[in-house]
Amino acid sequence: MTRHIVTSTRFDLPFFKQRKAEDEGPVHVVDLLAERLSATIHQPGDASPNLADKVGGKLVGTPDHWALARDVLAHTKPGELIYTTGSDVGLPIALLNVAMRKKAKVAVYFVAPTRPRPKAFSQLLARLPGAFMAVTGTADKVASMEAAIGDRVFAVHLADEQTDTGFFAPVATRKQRTAPLVVSCGLEQRDYVTLAEAVESIDADVKICAASPNFTSKTTVAMPDSMPERTEMRLFEFPELRSLYQEADVTVISLLPNDYSAGLTVMLEALACGSPVVMTKTSGLASHFIDDGLVIGVPPEDSDAMRKAINDVLNDPEAAAARTAKARERVLDTHTSSVYVDELVSALESYEAS
């Protein structure tokens, strides 16, 4: 029986494979998942939207997502597994699966299940015939989905956030620096105003990788009018970014108040490379690392607390190293790409067999 993986965005898998083979970037979990499931990958752009798709795109997703949903379901038989990497394409597939009576086994990954449209449409789907499987990335999100749709779905599966610890790893010997290095990364829900205020009076070099794979014109980010001296903000490619994490005296993840669980990828990458982490405390996985004393948490939009946390790390590197070693052990135990794929494959196969 054929299995299908449907992505929310289009990407070049051969490029990612080549990059990984050359140690120029991390593995892509969709590639790993497709290999483990022997699944066919479908991506936006594989089908052209019609008028109905354009109407659907006003409700959820985009016309390309609806066109892709139609195309995938046209080649799907009853009982076949369809895993979607986002609700923007997953909800159209799940809705059309019911409307077309295809009886496929649809599993949808929800990035932000508490946002109004994903929440409303998941509740609608839960009331329609034909259960679907929900997948999301943190325990808090699982709890919110279970509260919203109860037991009217096959399951709400926790697929913990992950990173490629084969690529993101420490170096045996760090370079000698004339000043401490503060590193930050990301764009989604980032608060670089607070970070700029926090580091302005700290004698340190600051490197910021201003990039996000999910960046759009709607991405929320707070940027200061100007950054402090000795600050470099630009796109750092993966090998450069890994080197920054490896050399960082502290990685700071400054976030706006949000329930999106932003910053988790950077947190895991930095910890995997052995960098101490200071992070704005928001809901989700990061709060567990903070509550367990593995990451230093600070309140949102509090530059004084952030400055103190950074100085605490810089002034006591031995304590910071001990804390980070424990954090890295947790990442290796529960947040690697291989653990992620193993657990997700097991859950999907159980759903497929149900």
pLDDT value for 211: 85
**pTM reported for the whole predicted model:** 0.93
Nearest to 337 by CA among 171, 160, 185, 81: 160
Whether residue 139 is found in the same domain as residue 9 = yes
CB 252 within 8 A of CB 183: yes
CATH of the domain at 251: 3.40.50.2000
Of 204, 216, 269, 277, whose CA–CA distance to 240 is shortest? 269
pLDDT tens for 245-296 read: 999 999 999 999 987 788 999 999 999 999 999 999 987 667 889 999 999 9
Distances (CA, A) of 115 to 85, 94, 108, 151, 273: 17, 18, 15, 20, 33
What is the distance between the alpha carbons of residues 130 and 123, in angstroms, rounded to a whole number?
Answer: 13
**How far is CA 4 from its chain centroid?**
21
C-alpha of 279 from chain center = 16
User: Is residue 260 domain-resident?
Assistant: yes
Whether residues 273 and 305 share a domain: the answer is: yes
In a domain, 14, yes or no: yes
Direct distance between the N- and C-terminal alpha carbons of the chain, in angstroms, rounded to an integer: 14
pLDDT tens digit sequence for 193-238: 999 999 999 999 999 999 877 667 777 899 999 999 999 999 999 9
Structural domain tally of the chain?
A: 2
Give, as one character, the DSSP assignment of residue 163. B
282/103 Cα distance (integer angstroms): 39
| Strand ordering across the sheet containing 277-280 | 231-234, 205-209, 181-185, 250-253, 277-280, 296-298
